[in-house]
Structure 1
Amino acid sequence: MKTVTMADVAQHANVSKSTVSQYLNKRFDYMGEETKKRIEEAIKELGYRPNILARSLKQKSTTTIGVIVANILHSFSTQVIRAIEDMCHESDFHTIVCNADDDPIKEKKYIEMLRAKQVDGIILLPTGDNKDLYNDMLKEKYPIVFVDRTVPGVNIPSMLLDNEKAAGLGVQHLINKGYKQIGVITNVIRNVTPRMERLNGYKKTLQLNGIPIKEEYIKSLEVSKIKDGLREMLSLENPPEAILAGNDLTLIEILKYVKEKNLSIPADLAIIGIDDVSFASFYEPGLTIVAQPAFEIGNKAAEHLLNKIQKRAIPEERLVYRFEPKLIIRESC
């Protein structure tokens, strides 16, 4: 079938090509209602579809950004994606979402694919292992923003939680409730920012309260091994009375173990999780959570990237943007 062109639409509607172009770009300032109606009807009757590639080459923009998350299973990732998509929709930008599975090779392939598709910029939750690639984009002044993590030696703006403070809020609440034997479990993903900072916040808060750090109370494990690690911890001669779950996936595995062993929360084990989960308020008992403002972080990342793409001034530009955690107290401790 012959491809329907803008010229065909213009001829069918008895207007010029420039008028059709103005209609497609929503420039209606000097366009009468009758003209708009004729163009709309011509587009429908002919089945015209704008040539997005041709338009992007002319405008030097695809009005599309890429979003590469480290692990789409995290509730934080899905909330950030939603916030980015909302912000982009308001600005008539599209999003392509990729899941890197915390795999540097997969991340590199996605970056190369997105750039081959000429997306205007990328929001990345980085693995941290593609420093040369990150710095190459920085040298080229390619619009890119990090979320959730920083990468030493890479000066790309990053939006992330105050992770030390988040862990500190959780541990301090447990201490205030009378607990002194407090463990922490995180899932192991090399030395990524949230994991390292949350462990530091846990340790610092114990030290500030004069409570010794016990290495046997600290575990960083693959998600599939978390239940085994908790069983080992609770089998110690002096097991922890309370646990800080380093993120949402860790919390879910801890709750699975608690259910399997018929443990009572908080009588047998007090629990606080970092990262909000959708079921925290109606789980029995309600789960005390240190939440991070995922939507605010996603909005800020999208706003920052769009400002870069559209070469707008960025107010108070800096390398790292920290967001405040919030302790939501319920019955689990």
Structure 2
Amino acid sequence: MEAHLYEQIYHYIIQEIKDGRLNEGDRVSSEKDLAEQFGVSRITSKKALEKLADTGIIKRIQGKGSFVTDQLTGRQEPKHYAAEIKVAHASEEERRLIGFIIPNFSDEFGLKLLRAIERQTAAYQYELIVKRTSGDREEEKRAIQLFVSLGVKGLLMTPIHGEHYNPDLLRLVLDQFPIVLVDRYLKGIPVCSIYTDNQKAATDLTLHLINQGHKKIAFLSPPEENTTTLEERLLGYTLAFTQEGMDLNEDYILKNFKSTLPAADHTAREHDEENLKRFLAQHPYVKAFVVSEFLVATLLAQVIYALGYPLDEYEIVCFDAMDDHLGRTIFTHIQQDEQQMGEVAVDMLISQIDGTDVPEQRIVAHRMIKRTH
């Protein structure tokens, strides 16, 4: 079996010392230089240097670099070297860890997913560690690096909203590290993903409103930039109009809601409320809304009520809604199958860890749940 990428770097430096190209006191190439030389991530090169330091082959000095010790004096590998490597590898094999990185989770979406992942991970006799990034790119980067340093065998991940993909995630993909993206996919990037057919789901919601006789239908969403889930929902909304031969008014598309994003503060909510008030005043005849997220739908209903408009004149449909305190379904909505999504995501990841080919993308069926009041 081909050695792990960090092991290739590890053995390369050992050979450099044994062959006399590196001697006691010489400075070893940096994490950055090794990553570029071997075409791997800095996480991988760092792990190789840490392994060398753990076995006493090099000494790492903060701010200065890594230096060869006298462990391989005379070009002879120390007697305890192989034993230490075996112990280290055995220790890693015993730590059957899987990581799950997610921006946020809540009752309307994410909590059932997390529970399903926990159960399925345990069924495979793996331990699950979870990190919530709150939509912060640097926190996502730190989470990836932490999990890899802890020796996770694979990674489940819901990338944050954003214009650019996280470079640390892309490096892991290039290193063929076992990864499954959950509720997302990366356009043009060959990485295993599992998600709802958000385009079809949004089309279903929009057609539901059209079939009720609505012709003026707005679409509300956080910025969809490079977030496939939101991009597909907007596309599904527009395709419904094309399918029915209806004109689409782009003035009815609002994509700047930020109060529901994990890192949002109170000013974002105030901005969104003013945005909705302005839209409702400018477009009084728009009575139907396709909303990409439940919390945006809730905010819309609150603003309509606060303005004194009769709520029963409006029809709001969304994704991943919750029932009210009486158990009534307040919005017609798309219900994603979080349980299946979580279970299959773990199945796909374990298959990768075991070296089995898995499909690059899996789509989970959805259901439309109609309101009950």
TM tier relative to shorter chain: 0.7 to 0.9
Tell me the alpha carbon deviations over residues 144-196 of structure 1, each in whole angstroms, 9 at most, x when there is no partner: 11011111232111101101111111110001111111111112253201111
Tell me the alpha carbon deviations over residues 89-129 of structure 1, each in whole angstroms, 9 at most, x when there is no partner: 22222111111222222111100011111111110111363
**What residue in structure 1 maps to residue 299 of structure 2?**
253
Which amino acid in the other structure matches residue 202 of structure 2?
A: A
Q: 2:218 aligns with which of 166, 178, 183?
A: 183
Kept in 1, the 8 Å contact 2:317–2:333? The answer is yes
**What residue in structure 2 maps to residue 310 of structure 1?**
354
Kept in 2, the 8 Å contact 1:168–1:205? The answer is yes
Q: Would you say 1:203 and 2:238 are equivalent positions?
A: yes
Kept in 2, the 8 Å contact 1:280–1:289? The answer is no
Q: CA separation in 2, counterparts of 1:135 and 1:247? A: 27
How far 1:302 moved relative to its partner? 1.0
How far 1:60 moved relative to its partner? 2.0
Q: CA separation in 1, counterparts of 2:214 and 2:125? A: 51
**What residue in structure 2 maps to residue 79 of structure 1?**
112
1:281/1:93 CA distance change after superposition, 3 Å: farther
Kept in 1, the 8 Å contact 2:92–2:151? The answer is no
Q: Secondary structure of the residue that 1:240 maps to in structure 2?
A: coil
Kept in 1, the 8 Å contact 2:225–2:231? The answer is no
Q: Spell out structure 1 runs of 4+ moving beyond 6 A.
A: none
Q: CA separation in 2, counterparts of 1:133 and 1:318? A: 23
Identity within the alignment, %:
23
Q: CA separation in 1, counterparts of 2:325 and 2:208? A: 17
Q: CA separation in 2, counterparts of 1:181 and 1:149? A: 30
- Tell me the number of residue pairs that the alignment of Structure 1 and Structure 2 aligns: 274
Kept in 1, the 8 Å contact 2:193–2:362? The answer is yes
1:166/1:182 CA distance change after superposition, 3 Å: same
- TM-score, scaled relative to structure 2: 0.68
Tell me the alpha carbon deviations over residues 27-56 of structure 1, each in whole angstroms, 9 at most, x when there is no partner: xxxxxxxxxxxxxxxxxxxxxxxxxxx797
Q: Would you say 1:222 and 2:258 are equivalent positions?
A: yes
Q: CA separation in 2, counterparts of 1:280 and 1:235? A: 30
Kept in 1, the 8 Å contact 2:116–2:339? The answer is yes
Q: 1:64 aligns with which of 97, 119, 129?
A: 97
Which amino acid in the other structure matches residue 176 of structure 2?
A: K
Kept in 2, the 8 Å contact 1:108–1:130? The answer is no
Q: 1:300 aligns with which of 340, 344, 369?
A: 344
Q: CA separation in 1, counterparts of 2:309 and 2:122? A: 46
1:151/1:230 CA distance change after superposition, 3 Å: same
Q: 2:362 aligns with which of 310, 314, 321?
A: 321
Which amino acid in the other structure matches residue 211 of structure 2?
A: N
Which amino acid in the other structure matches residue 97 of structure 2?
A: T
Q: CA separation in 1, counterparts of 2:245 and 2:175? A: 50
How far 1:73 moved relative to its partner? 4.1
**What residue in structure 1 maps to residue 40 of structure 2?**
none
Q: CA separation in 2, counterparts of 1:202 and 1:173? A: 11
Kept in 2, the 8 Å contact 1:280–1:288? The answer is no
Q: 1:192 aligns with which of 218, 227, 232?
A: 227
**What residue in structure 2 maps to residue 43 of structure 1?**
none
Q: CA separation in 1, counterparts of 2:122 and 2:138? A: 30
Q: 1:111 aligns with which of 119, 144, 150?
A: 144
Q: CA separation in 1, counterparts of 2:303 and 2:130? A: 33
Tell me the alpha carbon deviations over residues 193-239 of structure 1, each in whole angstroms, 9 at most, x when there is no partner: 11111011101101222222112211112122333222222112553
Q: CA separation in 1, counterparts of 2:286 and 2:326? A: 24
Kept in 2, the 8 Å contact 1:70–1:126? The answer is yes
Kept in 2, the 8 Å contact 1:293–1:323? The answer is yes
Kept in 2, the 8 Å contact 1:233–1:239? The answer is no
Tell me the alpha carbon deviations over residues 215-265 of structure 1, each in whole angstroms, 9 at most, x when there is no partner: 221111212233322222211255311111111221222232233234433
**What residue in structure 2 maps to residue 92 of structure 1?**
125
What is the root-mean-square deviation in Å for CA atoms of aligned residues?
A: 2.3
Which amino acid in the other structure matches residue 327 of structure 1?
A: M
1:258/1:238 CA distance change after superposition, 3 Å: closer
1:238/1:248 CA distance change after superposition, 3 Å: closer
Q: CA separation in 2, counterparts of 1:253 and 1:96? A: 33
Kept in 2, the 8 Å contact 1:276–1:292? The answer is no
- TM-score, scaled relative to structure 1: 0.75
Q: CA separation in 2, counterparts of 1:194 and 1:92? A: 31
